[in-house]
Structure 1
Amino acid sequence: MTQLVIVLDATIVNVALPEVQLELGLTDSQRQWVITAYVLAFGSLLLLGGRLADSWGRKRSYLVGIIGFGAASAWGGLAGSGTELIAARGIQGAFAALLAPAALSMLTVIFPSGRERGTAFAVFGIVAGSGAAVGLALGGILTEFAGWRWCLLVNLVFTALGIVGAAKFLKESRTSSEGGHDLWGGITVTLGFGSLVYGLTLAEDGWTSTTTLAFLALGLGLLALFVVIEAKTAHPILPLRILRDRTRAGAFFVQAVIGAVYIGSTLFQAYHLQVVLQLSPLVAGFATLPMAVSTMAMASLSTKLFQRFGGRYVMTAGLVIAAAGMLYLAQLTLDGSYWAEVLPGLLLVGVGLSGVVVPLQNVALTGVGWNDAGAASAVVNSLMQLGGSIGLALFTALFIGASGGQNTYEATGVEGYAAVYLGAAAALLAGAVVAAALIRTPGVSAPNASAHETHHVPVG
């Protein structure tokens, strides 16, 4: 439930943006920041949130995160101006950065290995993989029947369920290590990710501007400094051993690709359905659901294939199938129909992504010690957001270049949307190459725990 809320909140306001802009009088820049503020705060604070969950307590971090997330959602839903809404979205992202790694790290330590771990991560992966499409559909329903404000206020239902469920069922746990909190590492990685994401957002209006290049350079420089700090500090916020495993590195790259495709291309998918096919927000939201439905329908088979063959073959094949679906979508025409030109492609993408998102979290976190669960979980989530930022910037550049400089509201042709789908296919194929080359995870029925995994220390 937590993962669903976090993922769908990145897309739930997409179909509502025209109504939001009209009611609050947003400028074009403010309109974009309704999405960017959430991703920027989320992506830049995740590592800090992950390490805090490890040391402060995962249940405690979860409860603080979900209460803060709910409060920010309420403020956003009641916002009277664009400035208020953007600020509320940023605070949502900040609390999501505490909530997401706490939830995923608890899953990691509750199911350290075996078939139960595979099943648990399969369910988690399905929700993560279908959340963006669910967000578009739910956003269309709420915008049509209740108004755009309920795209944020609906989170209060999930908040109440999360608080009750956590208080009743979850047990406290935290790392057994003692030491500092790596303040300088936390500052540099937060500012580094923030600068990088902000630079990529500015790049949507031009990659060669001085401001864009300055923020990108600053972000990369701060992240390089962060690596140096982590290599020297006794209690790093991100132990570099997490990144040295080739299988985990491959899974991290694939996660970034999935983020680029989901967050980057689904925005254009919503406009394709509304601008080119002239569907209402409600119908457009539902029209994206076949991708999520096919992902969930194939989950059981993907889980069995993963348990039998491991992550390398299943994830590589899934990425190739998803790329084929994007290539199909790229063949759209101006007078084409949804049933002939969109639905088959969405189904193919959904089937392919099932083979990726079901094992992805498991592969990325296999062998991670108890003390590192929050940090590793934060990397997985952070790469999803950073991948989405990169994808949004790249796909926007492709769209504008192919459509003759028109933005998503003005373009009436199909060339820009075709370019976005081709870009998404290329990204998925790059992920397939990396998965085939680096991932070496056996089936989850085999022992998964690292020989050096740290024993956990339950608390409370």
Structure 2
Amino acid sequence: MIVLDITVMNVALPRIQADLGFDATALSWVINAYTLVFGGLLLLGGRAGDLFGRRRLFIAGTALFTTASLAGGLAESSAWLIAARIAQGLGSAMAGPSTLALLTTTFTEQKARLRALAWFSGMSSAGFAVGLILGGLLTEWLSWRWVLFINVPFGVAVVVLATRFLREPERRPARLDLPGAFTATAGVAAIVYGFIRAAADGWGEPATLVSLAVGAVLVAVFLAIETRAPQPLLPLRLFADRNRAAAYVNFFLGPMAGMSMFFFLTQYLQDVRGMSALGTGFAFLPMALLVFATSRFIPRVLPRFGPKPTALVGTACMIAGVVLLTQLSAGSGYFPLLFVPMILMGLGMGLAFSPLNVIIMATVPPADAGAAGGVLQTMQQTGATLGLAILVTVFGSATRSATGTPEEIMVSGMTTAFVASAIIATLTFVVALTFRRTR
């Protein structure tokens, strides 16, 4: 539910824009309002689970997420929808780190933990792609509002089943690092806002430069706070292990590259190629199937080959897929210039990112499980949010100088954004080279 809700909105974006009156650059806030709050508060959510109880926070967060989904589906204005997405992000930040922590502390035997984390990776990775298909089905058959309403019955079921079956693990003394939480969230928010302003108004706008500068200062202050805090939100010891540190970095870079595909291709398929929301959803089916199928082999592949070959093959597939997308034109058909990148991205995401959950969480001490899970998901969500903001900025800059029909101008901006995605994806390959050859 939590990961799916990042992408399920993408297919519905054109309908939301028409219904609630978003402009082209403000539309990205339908995605960013959720991922920004989610990513910004995940570290705090991880420590709050240690303090108040992981089971309790998991149930409370899921309940808030479900209630906010209902409110978002009833939205009558753009501000109402953004507020509901913010509340969804808050609920996800409460439940997300506790999910991983509960898995890690429930399954203590190494083989069982590996299988449990692999299942989690499969669900998480598939959620990105399945969200696009589900969004298409619901938007076409019912309304864009149902991409939010669909969370309600599942959320209620999760709360009821968790109350009955989940056990509360042993609680450890903890304190909330509120200065760290404030500076991290405000810093990332300021940077993302600066990129969004740059997309709309250009780099010469004073508000853009001030926002980026303030964001950079706040992030630096956050890191300084974390080096001195007795119980930091971001324990630097988690980065002492080389494989875990590399996995964290790639969990930041990977979504930066991947979000461009979800955000721009849904608009390309509907606004340029004239496909329905349902057709757009099914266009992503090959990728969704491959992401999930590939992640199911991780418990066998990872012990046999180790993280380095697995991640290198996966990131190479991602790079190839994004590079192919830079060749799109307004007249490109689904075969082969969209179908082949879908296949490559499905294989790449399954191989490159599904092992990262296992690498990070399999050996983490129980006392750090909440913080480790919070850092993992923070990297993922902050990367997705910041990546989308950067790519929307690249898109906006390219379209301002492009000429031709509206469709040709839009595609010119998208292909320029895909070039930036390819550069970011190449960085994930470079980081994957630093994994130790262990099994």
In the superposition, the TM-score normalised over structure 2's length comes to 0.92
Distance 1:22 1:251 in 2: 40
2:182: which partner in 1?
Answer: 187
CA contact 2:114–2:299 (8 Å) conserved in 1:
yes
1:317 counterpart letter in structure 2: V
Report what 1:421 is aligned to: 418
- The corresponding residue for 2:257 is 261
Where does the alignment leave 5 or more consecutive residues of structure 2 unmatched? none
Q: Which residue in the other structure is 2:221 paired with?
A: 225
Is the contact made by 1:302 and 1:358 (CA closer than 8 Å) also made in structure 2? yes
Is the 8 Å Cα contact of residues 34 and 89 (structure 1) preserved in structure 2?
A: yes
Q: CA deviation at 1:350?
A: 0.7
Q: Please give the per-residue CA displacement for 1:29-61, whole angstroms capped at 9, x wherever unaligned.
A: 653322221122112111111110122111000
The alpha-carbon distance between structure 1 residues 123 and 84, as it changes in their structure 2 partners (threshold 3 A), is same
Residues 113-132 of structure 1: pairs in structure 2 closer than 5 A: 114-132=110-128
Separation of aligned partners in 2, 1:244 and 1:212: 36
Relative distance call for 1:201 and 1:102 in structure 2 (3 A) is farther
CA distance in 1, matches of 2:265, 2:215: 30
Report the residue type matching 1:372 in the other structure. Answer: D
Q: Does 1:201 pair with 2:196?
A: yes
Distance verdict in 2 for CA 1:248–1:417, change over 3 Å = same
Whether the 8 Å contact between 1:329 and 1:341 is mirrored in structure 2 is: yes
Task: Give the corresponding residue for 2:60.
Answer: 64
How far did residue 250 of structure 1 move? 0.9
Find the counterpart in structure 2 of residue 432 from structure 1. Answer: 429
SS in 1 for 2:433: helix
Judged with a 3 Å threshold, the aligned counterparts in structure 2 of structure 1 residues 344 and 179 are, in CA distance, closer, same or farther, namely closer
1:173 CA displacement: 1.8
Secondary structure of the residue that 1:6 maps to in structure 2? coil
For the pair 1:332 / 2:328, whether they are aligned, the reply is: yes
Q: Distance in 2 between matches of 1:98 and 1:391?
A: 23
Task: Sort the Cα spacing of 1:163 and 1:218 in 2 relative to 1 into closer, same or farther, 3 A.
Answer: same
Shift in alpha-carbon separation, 1:179–1:144, aligned structure 2, 3 A: closer
| Closer/same/farther in 2, CA of residues 345 and 264 from structure 1, 3 Å limit | closer
Identical residues among aligned pairs (%):
37
CA distance in 2, matches of 1:81, 1:334: 32
- Equivalent position to 1:104, from 100, 106, 116: 100
Which of 155, 158, 181 aligns to 2:154? It is 158
Q: CA deviation at 1:405?
A: 4.3
Decide whether the 8 Å contact of 1:121 with 1:361 is kept in 2.
yes
The match for 1:81 is 77
2:341 to 312, 330, 345: 345
For residues 114 and 107 of structure 1, what CA distance do their matches in structure 2 show?
A: 12
Deviations 1:58-107 (A, max 9, x none): 10000000000111111111122222111111111111111111111212
**Which structure has more helix as a fraction of its residues?**
2
Given residue 416 of structure 2, which amino acid in structure 1 is its aligned partner?
A
Number of aligned residues: 436
Query: What 5-or-longer segments of structure 1 have no aligned partner?
Result: 444-460
How far apart, CA to CA, are the structure 2 residues paired with 1:298 and 1:131?
14
Deviation at 1:249, TM superposition (A): 1.8
Query: How do residues 161-172 of structure 1 correspond to structure 2 at under 5 angstroms?
Result: 161-172=157-168
Structure 2 contact 402–412 (Cα < 8 Å) conserved? no
The CA RMSD measured in Å over matched residues stands at: 2.3
Deviates more, 1:161-170 or 1:109-118: 109-118
Which among 242, 245, 255 is matched to residue 241 of structure 2? Answer: 245
Q: Structure 1 length normalisation: TM-score?
A: 0.88
Cα 1:266–1:186 shift into 2, 3 Å = same
What amino acid maps onto 1:156 in structure 2?
V
The alpha-carbon distance between structure 1 residues 113 and 208, as it changes in their structure 2 partners (threshold 3 A), is: farther
What SS does the aligned partner of 1:181 have?
A: coil
Asked whether the equivalents of residues 46 and 97 of structure 2 are also in contact (C-alpha less than 8 Å), the reply is yes
